[in-house]
Chains A and B, each alone.
Chain A
Amino acid sequence: MAKVIVTPETYNLVFFDSGRIAELVGEAADKAGFAADAEIRVEVDERVPLGRTKTVSLDPISIWVEGGAFEDAKRPRQLSDQSVQDVAGRLLFRAHDRLGGGFADAPDDDGLTLPQQVAWDAYAVGRAERAGLPASRSRRLYHFRNRHGFNDVADAAFDRLWNGVDLTWADIEAACQETAAAKEAASA
């Protein structure tokens, strides 16, 4: 299992356990294809109950999350195993993509448009689900429709991404262009 370093080690505002987070992220890293000697850093901002997340570095892999992203939506301030693996799976599959050749042309995370982000997420979470990580297809589909349109073209693009294997950045871009064209045609 990859080596996972979680900061902070202890929490004052939430009831999180960094050992448990490390264990869950380690499992997700294995499933995303990271080698056993890979190092993954996780930084949790426990002060914020919101759910923003990002990958801040690829070498070593460093992810940053607001505490709300790992939180149980039913039990405030409690850690949710499912949320940790949902977030970690999505970010680590994407990070793994960037380390391969097929996503060399992708902009930095900050440079991604919302449609690009959710399209890539659909591809990442689809694989995470097939790898056995917790994932909600219907939630991702709703995100996708919000950014790509509530129509058959968008749904077909989502299915391709969700079920995709060995896709590249060009495939993500193509899906975005296709749904944008469908939206434009509908509004014309």
Chain B
Amino acid sequence: MKKHNDVTSLARDSRFERLSLEDQFSDPRNAVMVGRTGGTGMRRRLDPARPGSPDRARSLMHGIFTGEIQALEGAGRTCFDFEVGTGDDEVPFELKLDMARQCWDEARHCEISVKLGEWMGTEIGEFAETTVLFEAACNPDPVLRLTGVNRALEGLAIDVFNTMREFGAETGDPLLHFCEDWMLADEVTHVKMGSDWLRRLTEKDPERRSRALEFQRVVDKLFSGAGFRGEEEDSTIRLARRFRELAGFSTDEIDEISELSRQSRDEARARIAQRALTEAS
């Protein structure tokens, strides 16, 4: 088995259909959505009062499910891709153990997501799968990979699970609330793990630390998906400040993610408006 594979290696059964970022961004209907959604082209907050909210929750839950599969795959590859050692392309034994533990957690999250999907009336593979999460897990530098996955991606998971947990509470769905609460506990642990390893592995290498944090910013911005996740009233996924603090994020770091989300939203708005203008002319 070769070390360091890429997103094309992800094996799926025939139910799954992959959607590239290019396909998402090149959809000409995005421009039409601009006027309807305050200029972002993105969908609004997951509000139980809206008629379509159960279907949106189903779709989001399926996105969580495929995200958990990729998180499992990413953690698995981190167990395999790096040898134990002190070099830049090596990792401590204990880090590999943490990643193995994360494999188990993510496998459990997949199982929970499958059951929740059934509960919500969703079939496996009913919605398209995007692979942006696994792409972050392919970085050849273990510190950058861990920062991108455990701080950015798992941080997003905290926000997503908290949003779904609140949706479950608002709609009175006991199973959704219960499961999301449990998964949220695991994600806080994973983020903490990422923060601890970032600190330990870059203790004497500030340059590497700043590269890792920069990579995290890139991933965070990507995951903020044009305002998909943020602190605006209509963000689909709200930044979960309290749980992020539990996971070891400082207030400054959370403020920065919030700001990145605002930037991502503004950029998407400009991009889509520009495209609309081009198409109109």
Contacts and interface: CB of A to CB of B under 8 A. Distances in A.
Would A and B touch once assembled, by the CB under 8 A criterion?
yes
Interface of A: 12-14, 46-52, 67, 73-77, 114, 117, 136-143, 145-146, 149-150, 183
Given A74-B125, A77-B29, 7 more contacts: A12-B28, A13-B29, A67-B29, A76-B19, A76-B27, A136-B121, A150-B175
B104 interface: no
A114 B49 CA distance: 9
Interface in B1-57: 17, 19, 23-24, 27-29, 32-33, 36, 43, 48-49, 51-55
14 contacts: A13-B28, A46-B29, A47-B32, A48-B32, A49-B27, A52-B51, A73-B128, A74-B126, A76-B27, A76-B128, A114-B49, A136-B121, A143-B54, A146-B53
B173 interface: yes
Contacts of B123: 136
Contact of A141 (B59, B121, B127): B121
Given A48-B32, A49-B29, A77-B27, A146 B121 contact: no
A67 B33 CA distance: 12
Nearest to B28: A13
A180 to B, nearest CB: 13
Contact of A149 (B58, B59, B172): B172
For B33, B36, B172, which residue has the most chain A Cβ atoms within 10 angstroms?
Answer: B172
A50 B52 contact: yes
A139 B57 CA distance: 11
B122 interface: yes
A137 B43 CA distance: 26
A74 B121 contact: no
A14 B27 CA distance: 9
B126 A52 contact: no
Q: How large is the interface on B (under 10, 10 to 19, 20 to 34, 35 or more residues)?
A: 35 or more
The majority secondary structure among interface residues of chain A is loop
Interface in B117-173: 118-123, 125-128, 171-173
A114 B54 CA distance: 12
Contacts of B122: 139
B174 interface: yes
Contacts of A77: 27, 29
A74 B51 contact: no
A140 B53 CA distance: 13
A150 B123 CA distance: 20
B174 A150 contact: yes
Contacts of B32: 13, 47-48
Contacts of A136: 121, 123
A121 B36 CA distance: 27
A4 B249 CA distance: 58
Contacts of A67: 29
A47 B29 contact: yes
B33 A138 contact: no
Given A13-B28, A136-B121, A51 B173 contact: no
Q: Which of B53, B54, B118: most chain A CB closer than 10 A?
A: B54
Contacts of A143: 54-55, 121
B54 A142 contact: yes
A140 B121 contact: yes
